């Protein structure tokens, strides 16, 4: 099975967590088509400002894909642009930590991030394939008590 790092916002993370579904735009179809039932999806929430407070980047949970990709007309997910996320996959909770995992702990372990000081530049896509070792490390950190 393959593991993926899925990039989202805090508002869309709440939708993933509440509805057990992940949505992706047509632009990212090539990537999501490589995902299969049983794959692990690790969710990264971007740094955001909420009520004058900066909420740091973190990994908030791990899920298993439990359906094939399908298209939906429901507009579950939001975007600051007119982008829509009609391609969905159903999920099942795998690991939900007591406390989100600070992404800076993970950065040194991710091979797709070549320049570690500028890691934010690498997270401009919806999904990244992780190596088995990278995924195992993140999942072990998510399972640590808070």
- pLDDT for residue 104 is more than 80: yes
pLDDT tens digit sequence for 12-64: 899 999 999 998 887 877 777 788 999 999 999 987 666 665 557 889 999 99
Residue-level pLDDT at 23? 87
**What is the chain's mean pLDDT, rounded?**
84
139 pLDDT higher than 70? yes
Model confidence band, residue 113 (pLDDT cutoffs 50, 70, 90): confident
Burial class (CB in 10 A: 0-12, 13-18, 19+), 98: exposed
What is the pTM (predicted TM-score) of this model? 0.87
Both tokens of 91, joined, read 């999920």
Sign of CA dihedral 23, 37, 99, 112: negative
pLDDT for the residue numbered 111:
80
Map out the domains of the chain with their CATH numbers.
Answer: 3-142 (3.10.590.10)
Confidence tier at 114 by pLDDT (50, 70, 90): confident
- Tokens representing 65 are 């894909």
Higher pLDDT, residue 45 or 111: 45
């Amino acid at each position: 099975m393959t593991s993926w790092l899925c990039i989202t916002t805090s508002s869309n993370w709440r939708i993933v967590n509440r509805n057990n579904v992940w949505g992706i735009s047509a632009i990212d179809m090539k990537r999501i088509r490589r995902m299969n039932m049983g794959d692990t999806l690790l969710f990264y929430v971007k740094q955001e400002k909420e009520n004058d407070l900066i909420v740091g980047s973190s990994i908030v949970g791990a899920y298993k894909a439990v359906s094939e990709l399908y298209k939906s007309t429901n507009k579950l997910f939001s975007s600051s642009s007119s982008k829509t996320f009609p391609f969905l996959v159903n999920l099942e909770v795998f690991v939900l930590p007591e406390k989100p995992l600070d992404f800076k702990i993970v950065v040194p372990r991710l091979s797709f991030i070549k320049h570690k000081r500028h890691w934010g530049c690498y997270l401009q896509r919806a999904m990244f394939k992780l190596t088995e070792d990278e995924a195992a490390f993140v999942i072990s950190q998510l399972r640590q008590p808070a």
